[in-house]
């Protein structure tokens, strides 16, 4: 049974895949270099998401302006786990933060933010359970780019193919092409920090 807040991702023993959508200039430069380089911005938060379908909804299947290219970024699990262990939720959770003032103080100081949004179906419908988004602050971005990233892959052709199948009434065929995502376990401390036990 899928939990209300549960991290689901494509991962192996050492790495995990997250997704981002960019304009072509950023995507092309990154793919050529094997990591993010200019015109990628190192000066503001960047959001990474392990849910392919959530990013498809966010980018309108790679058709939204500035999000025409879909990248799969395979990163070290050690980096991902570190980010989660330092993250602060974007919304106040009484059982996690104690008081609003305590949450605000932690949120303002945090270099990593997490928010939970409704997961999406292949048709874009909101599902009952939540999908995680992780925002990496500028203080951590250099480490993300220089140390965490293992591989970049352009999934734009795949996104376009799945979208066309859905538009042509072949969503079942499209589903078979989706990246595999399974529950990703975290420590009890991280689960509490991210309010993953809430329902």
> pLDDT by residue (tens digit) across 178-187?
999 999 999 9
What residue numbers bound the domain in which 56 lies? 8-193
Span 35-56, mean pLDDT?
Answer: 97
Q: Is residue 199 part of a domain?
A: no
Confidence of residue 98 (pLDDT cuts 50, 70, 90): confident
Percentage of the residues of the chain whose pLDDT score is greater than 90 = 95
The pair of structure tokens assigned to 114 is 């997490």
- Look up the pTM and report it: 0.95
Summarize pLDDT for 6-20 with one digit per residue, the tens.
999 999 999 999 999
Give me the pLDDT at residue 197, please. 73
Q: Is the pLDDT of residue 198 over 70?
A: no
Q: Is residue 79 part of a domain?
A: yes
Give me the pLDDT at residue 37, please. 97
Q: Is residue 1 part of a domain?
A: no
Give me the pLDDT at residue 199, please. 44
* Residues 6 or more apart whose Cβ sits within 8 Å of residue 62: 21, 56, 68, 69, 70, 156, 159, 160, 163
Helix (H) or strand (E) holding 152: strand 149-154
Q: Is residue 52 part of a domain?
A: yes
Q: Is residue 15 part of a domain?
A: yes
Q: Is residue 48 part of a domain?
A: yes
Span 40-45, mean pLDDT?
Answer: 94
Q: Is residue 3 part of a domain?
A: no
- Per DSSP, the three-state class of 168 is coil
Distance CA 118, CA 110 (A): 24
Q: Is the pLDDT of residue 39 over 60?
A: yes
Cβ atoms within 10 Å of 13's Cβ, excluding its own:
5
Give me the pLDDT at residue 95, please. 83
Q: Is residue 2 part of a domain?
A: no
- Give the chain's domain count: 1
């Amino acid at each position: 049974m899928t939990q209300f807040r549960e991290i689901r991702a494509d991962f192996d023993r050492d790495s995990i895949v997250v997704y981002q959508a960019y304009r072509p200039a950023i995507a092309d430069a990154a793919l050529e270099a094997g990591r993010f380089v200019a015109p990628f911005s190192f000066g503001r938060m960047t959001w990474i998401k392990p849910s392919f379908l959530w990013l498809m909804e966010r980018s309108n299947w790679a058709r939204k302006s500035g999000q025409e290219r879909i990248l799969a970024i395979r990163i070290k699990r050690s980096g991902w786990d570190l980010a989660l262990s330092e993250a602060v939720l974007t919304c106040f959770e009484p059982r996690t933060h104690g008081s609003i003032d305590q949450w605000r103080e932690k949120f303002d100081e945090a270099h990593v933010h997490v928010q939970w949004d409704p997961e999406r179906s292949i048709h874009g419908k909101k599902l009952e359970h939540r999908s995680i988004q992780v925002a990496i602050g500028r203080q951590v971005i250099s480490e993300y780019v220089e140390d965490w990233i293992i591989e970049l892959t352009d999934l734009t052709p795949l996104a376009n193919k799945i979208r066309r199948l859905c538009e042509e009434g072949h969503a079942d065929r499209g589903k078979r092409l989706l990246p595999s995502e399974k529950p990703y376990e975290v420590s009890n401390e991280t689960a509490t920090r991210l309010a993953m036990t809430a329902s």
